[in-house]
Structure 1
Amino acid sequence: STIKMATTSLRTLTTALCMGGALGLLLPGGVRAARRLLSSSAAPAGYDAGNIFAKIIAGDIPSFKVMETEHCIAILDAFPVCPGHTLLIPKKASVTCADMEGDSLTGTMAELPKLVRAVQKATGAPAARVISNVGPEAGQIVFHTHFHIIPRHTKDASWANSKDMVTKEEAVPVMEAIKKALAEGC
């Protein structure tokens, strides 16, 4: 039906806007309304090759990339909880970390400790939180496996949601600091 097609188109556009594409645009109702729409969706029955992370991996949508290997990429979260909030994303299609296997699993997980150290070094954070939301009930919005690396400081609340989409001015210095820390051997 026309309504179903419009809803599907809106969801696709909303995903692109909320997760890093077309950074300057907002939907009616703003980013918060768009994120509410996304978070109310259920996980697809199988892997959706058109998800936002698959498009970022393919180079179809821009991101603030901090590293890339044969098996994974790391980007700054488009809606960070705090500066330095980074996502580690396997390149191989999988919906959750429970679906990962083989070289994708070992290759991605091999990068996690280095990335955590780099994020901590770049942000001056004494601690970090590593999270993978597995399923919509756990808060998963994008159904492509990914891990959040969130730097934490003593003064931080136990958990906070992002308020606004990251700007280029905020993202670039943090992205460069993480890249530098990785190059220095974290």
Structure 2
Amino acid sequence: MSTKSSKLRRLLASPGLIQAPGVFNPLLARLVERVGFPAVYVSGAGLSNGMLGLPDVGLLSMTEVTRMAGQIARVTSLPVISYADTGYGGPGMIRRAVEEFIEQGVAGIHLEDQVADKKCGHLPGKQLVPIQEMVDRLEAAGGGRTDPDFVLIARTDARAGEGFEGALERAKAYIE
């Protein structure tokens, strides 16, 4: 059986870039599919702007994000990658979040390496957690995978504060 997660894994294994436009509601996901894109991205900034009229500063709950990501996933045959903020808490909550995203039909998520009181990735003044704390987040997320093809993406906002080398160091640690 081909799942959306396995479709996403095949896309990631293919050469080139994957264009996955950011959406914040099911209608936009349908339009993304109709236009012919291979995947959909549930954007944290888009959700925050669309649901709250505010920038993405960590105000949406896990339940709000997983519910909307699920509504988006249900209306498209495309794999859906969702923003998962900083994981919504400690290791137990991160595992639970992954389980909820999988249950909602999401193919993968990205976790951010910012502190819990975060700022939108394109805003200045971001503060990052230590590398090991992000590694621990990723390990907790892996522990919540009930679908072995579910994709975990580590996102770093280090380039702005730590430069390219700092971002590269973090990325290498997250891959391991």
Q: TM-score, normalised by structure 2?
A: 0.30
Q: Taking CA–CA contacts closer than 8 Å with sequence separation of 6 or more, which of the two structures ends up with the larger relative contact order?
A: 1
Which structure has greater helix proportion?
A: 2
Q: TM-score, normalised by structure 1?
A: 0.29
> Which is greater in Rg?
1
